[in-house]
Amino acid sequence: MSRKLILRPQAEMDRTSHFLYLGQRSPQAALRFDQAIEAALKKICSTPNVGANLTLSAVAHLNLRFYRPSGFDKYLIIYRLTDDTIYVTRILHGAQDVEAAVLES
């Protein structure tokens, strides 16, 4: 069964923010980042359980998973699965307070 992919508005803003940040330092890095995110999202769609469980006590009830885009291992694509949908809730840098960011989304 194929699941529908939905990027929550905060995940879209995260992606854009990281792209712009990287682009200020290296336009090539920003383009590679965007390509890596796109490839990671395709991987998540084709193999939804590819990501590891996100083990944060405050959000354990949400059954979130995370996946790292290739070449950008410090970034996390955080998502939740339902029977028919993959909800991408955040795209974060690992130095961010992941738990607080997930709670605010």
Report domain extents, the chain. Answer: 4-104
Helices (H) and strands (E) in the chain, counts: 3, 5
Per-residue model confidence (pLDDT) at position 8: 96
Q: Which CATH class is domain 4-104?
A: alpha beta
> What is the model's pLDDT at position 87?
96
| Euclidean distance between CA atoms 78 and 66, whole angstroms | 4
Q: For each of the chain's 105 residues, which pLDDT tens digit applies?
A: 678 999 999 999 999 999 999 999 999 999 999 999 999 999 999 999 999 999 877 777 778 999 999 999 999 999 999 889 999 999 999 899 888 888 887
